[in-house]
Amino acid sequence: MDIRERVLRATNITEFQRRVYLALLDIPSGETTSYGQLAQRIGCKSAQAVGQALKRNPFAPDVPCHRVIASDGSIGGYFGKRGGEEIERKRQLLQQEQILKQ
């Protein structure tokens, strides 16, 4: 079963999370979006709500929440953290996709 189908069938996520994760699957490898842009894409006015959904992403990295960055172009958070191992993992994933220079 592909990742889109897994998200569609998941019973352990809210409908809002499902909308966020499905929209995120449309962001191609090598590209990023901001929390605000992703919120707009799904008709939500809250970038923070999108961030909370991504913090709880049970499908990462298959649902690539690492492709979501802050509106100022900074790396933002990852799994609710702004430093440490989580941010280093996000940095590595972005480098693998050649979004960030090594």
Given the residues 65, 68, 69, 94, select the one marked as catalytic: 65
Q: What are phi and psi of 38, to 5 degrees?
A: -65, -40
Mean pLDDT lowest for which of 17-26, 35-44, 88-97? 88-97
Active-site residue flag, 65: yes
| d(C-alpha 15, C-alpha 37), whole Å | 19
Tens of pLDDT, residue by residue over 38-72, are: 999 999 999 999 999 999 999 999 999 999 999 99
pTM higher than 0.75, yes or no? yes
| d(C-alpha 11, C-alpha 79), whole Å | 20
Which residue ranges make up each domain of the chain?
3-96
Q: Please enumerate in sequence order all residues whose Cβ is within 8 A of that of 62, keeping only pairs 6 or more positions apart, or say none.
A: 3, 6
84-95 mean pLDDT: 90
Query: Taking the domain 3-96, which CATH number applies?
Result: 1.10.10.10
DSSP 34: E
